[in-house]
Structure 1
Amino acid sequence: MSNAPVPPDGPIGAEPETPVCARHSDRPTRLRCTRCDRPACPDCLRDASVGMQCVDCVKDGARSVRQTRTSAGAVLSNRGPIVTQVMIALNVLAYVVTVVQSGSPMNNSRAGLFTATSLFPEAVANGEWWRIVTSGFMHFGLIHLALNMAALFVVGPIVEQELGKLRYTAVYFLSLLGGSAAAFYFGTVCQQLAGASGAVFGLMGALLIVFKRQKRDISTIVVVVGINLVSNLFTNASLLGHLGGFVIGGLLTLAMVRAPRQGRNLYQIGAVVAALVLLGVMFALRAAQLDTDAEVILEIARTCR
């Protein structure tokens, strides 16, 4: 046995104790974060522009980077068009239920759900206000559903990315209400309305504003909208419902993309509230008119059905 003194740090040539991950004390590692120099296991390291950084430093760096925003104030994201996908799923699900109830993919308007949720003006005037929203998820047959969902599939993701999910949801539902309000206020009592066309046309109006704001060619959109509106004159589609959705969607999107950066959120919230008030007044005035002429309306309703 040697009596030579032992260095305080251990014998010469001894391996130093392996450090452990700063976030996992049970994982020895010789890797380190190039930013904070703390030990980190492979699961806690991420590729960086120089070397590898721990997840904590990556998060700190992300917070310090200024996020890119659209003209409406939405943060650009790689996430998919979740809201559009949900709306398509809800419309398809509602259609499937009506087909099961009616036993027919083309005459599904006979289903109990369809009758209870489509828009009958006299029913709305009598207090069944849910119809102004639920009618936007009902469709007269497979072709009606397919046309609306195809348009939503194409237009929706573009508008959703520009507006962001919350603003996009507001535009979608206010456009839907805009279509219902226009048909209810200006239309006749002898009608049954259903379909997502008001919301879809609202998104077309929104896309027109977005493209105009980005200085992109809008001629294709104008032609598509024009053809659809003109075709309404030769079909049973509601021209008023389409126009109402288009106007509300376009104006609301215009207010959102033109909002000043200072106080942008308050400005946009104000635009949404103003649209809600306008549509609410239209519904209330028309309901009061129909209630005043109740006897005449009931007589017309009997002949309509």
Structure 2
Amino acid sequence: MSVNRQQDLPGCVRHPDRPTGLRCVRCDRPACPDCMREASVGYQCVDCVNEGAKAVRTPRTIGGARATRSRKLTVVPTLIAVNVAAFALTAIQAGSIVENNRSTIFQDGTLVPAFVSAGEWWRLITSGFLHFGNYGGYGPVHLLFNMFALWVIGRDLEVALGRGRFLAVYLLALLGGSTAVMLFGGAGSGVAGASGAVYGLFGGIAVVVFKAKLNPAPVLSLIAINVFLSVALPGISLLGHIGGLVAGALATVAMVYAPAQRRTQFQLGACAALALVMIVAVAVRGAAMDCTVSDGLYYLCAGA
């Protein structure tokens, strides 16, 4: 009797050789226990579950990256590690943590507009990963301050923008600081440190706060205090800080205000355009300087 009843049952839609009395609550097709999944109400077949998953919109961050439950950071710790490693290398090479500027790595990587004008373009980027150990006479405080600020501001901004977009903002801010020094600084002024990039993160977090319609007072106060310190304390590159702040803010505007349609393409285009403008500005300024460099020394710069 039970055998006949089982034979009268319809076969599973995915496994026709398996009679079943179960049906999907969504499509009402017969499905065996292996093909059923628990839903909010009753059970659905595998096909309906997969179809429903396609219709669910993937959650995104304010910058358009995939939102995840994990707040695990990748870019910020990596940047900190690179900066610390660069400082360690210069200190080892110089044999001192307070006079690491004697290192050839430091001397060849510091931003000096005259050297950039002569073709040493890498200094625009490498200078952002070098820190003077005797900054202000207090040992490696230059590195410690910048890395602390990078951690405090960067961890929230990386989560808000996503890894790739955050890295783009950081590098564009770094380039923005170098560009400002090139355009308005002296030909022989030496500049190094991640401050320009960090200030770009200040600008970026301010843009995110405005976009999210949060209270901007704390962030704006922090920026104002740091700008004041840049003016009040000696030996600080105000140009690098302001250039980084502006470039970082502009890059973040492109990230968070990009139209939903073709968001990624718009972000890539805007960031590429910003980078191109800065590179062209540096090239024009460098050509105007027309500096001659020999044996690590620069000579007369025609436009400096």
TM-score range, shorter chain: 0.7 to 0.9
Q: 1:224 to 1:60 in 2, by over 3 A?
A: same
Which piece of structure 1 moves more, 285-294 or 240-249?
A: 285-294
Q: Which amino acid aligns with 1:144?
A: H
Q: CA deviation at 1:269?
A: 1.6
Q: Deviations over 1:186-221 (max 9, x none)?
A: 111121111111110001100000011111122122
Paired position in structure 1 for 2:147: 149
Question: Is structure 2 residue 166 aligned with structure 1 residue 174?
Answer: no
Q: CA deviation at 1:255?
A: 2.1
Flag structure 2 segments of 5+ consecutive residues without an equivalent: 4-23, 26-30, 134-139
Q: Deviations over 1:98-132 (max 9, x none)?
A: 11111222221111211111111111111111111
Q: Aligned-pair RMSD on alpha carbons?
A: 3.2
Q: CA deviation at 1:64?
A: 4.9
Which piece of structure 1 moves more, 184-193 or 236-245?
A: 184-193
Q: CA deviation at 1:145?
A: 0.5
Aligned residue among 189, 192, 199 for 1:191: 189
Q: Deviations over 1:230-255 (max 9, x none)?
A: 22223211000000010011011112
Q: 1:62 to 1:293 in 2, by over 3 A?
A: same
Aligned residue among 45, 67, 70 for 2:58: 67
Question: Is structure 2 residue 119 aligned with structure 1 residue 127?
Answer: yes
CA distance in 2, matches of 1:37, 1:79: 39
User: How many residues were matched structurally?
Assistant: 268
The percent identity for this pair of structures is: 43
Aligned residue among 103, 108, 116 for 2:108: 116
Residues 1-305 of structure 1: pairs in structure 2 closer than 5 A: 64-77=55-68, 78-141=70-133, 142-233=140-231, 234-291=233-290, 298-299=299-300
- SS of alignment partner, residue 298 of structure 1: strand
Which piece of structure 1 moves more, 262-271 or 204-213?
A: 262-271
Flag structure 1 segments of 5+ consecutive residues without an equivalent: 1-8, 10-33, 41-45, 301-305
CA distance in 1, matches of 2:291, 2:115: 14
**Contact 2:169–2:248 (CA under 8 A) maintained in structure 1:** yes
CA distance in 2, matches of 1:279, 1:231: 26
Normalising by structure 2, we get a TM-score of 0.77
Q: 1:211 to 1:100 in 2, by over 3 A?
A: same
Paired position in structure 1 for 2:19: none
Q: Deviations over 1:154-193 (max 9, x none)?
A: 1111111111111111111010000000011111112111
Q: Which amino acid aligns with 1:126?
A: A
Paired position in structure 2 for 1:26: none
CA distance in 2, matches of 1:73, 1:182: 29
- SS of alignment partner, residue 215 of structure 1: coil
Q: 1:57 to 1:82 in 2, by over 3 A?
A: farther
Q: Which amino acid aligns with 1:119?
A: L
Q: Which of the two has higher C-alpha Rg?
A: 1
Q: 1:294 to 1:108 in 2, by over 3 A?
A: closer
Query: Displaced runs of 4+ in structure 1, greater than 6 A?
Result: 46-53, 55-61, 292-295
Normalising by structure 1, we get a TM-score of 0.77
CA distance in 2, matches of 1:298, 1:56: 74
**Contact 2:177–2:240 (CA under 8 A) maintained in structure 1:** yes
